[in-house]
Structure 1
Amino acid sequence: MELLLIFIIGLLHAAGIYMLLRRSMFKMIIGLILLGNGVNLLIFLLGRLVKGKPPVIDEASKVFTEIYADPVPQALILTAIVIGFGLQSFAIILIKRVYKVLETDDLDDLNSTDEEI
């Protein structure tokens, strides 16, 4: 299971970086979304995947006899999802406004001074 997640994380990072290097702003946002999901999976994987075990240890147990999942990465992922959603929403609204004013989403066309417009 962990090996599959490693390949998925690598694929998400590669696709995200590829999309960030495109000229379209819409593709850039897709790249940010893919990178964000890849980072969330990476943090989740670092918290260890243990099937069928609770992330919090019972108070009655005095000795750690088995490996348990860590709840901190799960909490960090939830926070990252909320922050990522806010960033993506802002970027989509910003791109929509830029497209409405300039009628292009090509990043090379947007690289101009105010005097040329």
Structure 2
Amino acid sequence: MCAVASSDAAAHGVTSSTAARAGLKLDERTESMTVEQFLRSYLADMCDKANAVVDGAIDDVSLLYKQLREETQNYRHQKRAEEHARNKAGACCAQACVRFQTQTFAASTNNKFYHCL
């Protein structure tokens, strides 16, 4: 008896009062549908909307990942440049210190050896 009742309900069209109670709006396309057709159409529309939301979220996360990756690469590049500058400054300081020590040692009467800090 339930199978007969459900098949009878599926054979009937979706009425505007039924749709209004469900909070749905009917248009020309859906007014001539059976309940089963309407539900399939409604489910397909909801799936399309959900897919669009998921696709948008994936795009947002991908963009954020690319931006963070670029910022990380820029940060690493900046840190490498700073390290290179420190090493270069250290090498220049060491060369100047050696020259200063050599000159000071040669000119010193008490042979003091100076170090660059």
TM-score (norm 1): 0.32
TM-score (norm 2): 0.32
Larger radius of gyration: 2
Higher helix share goes to which structure? 2
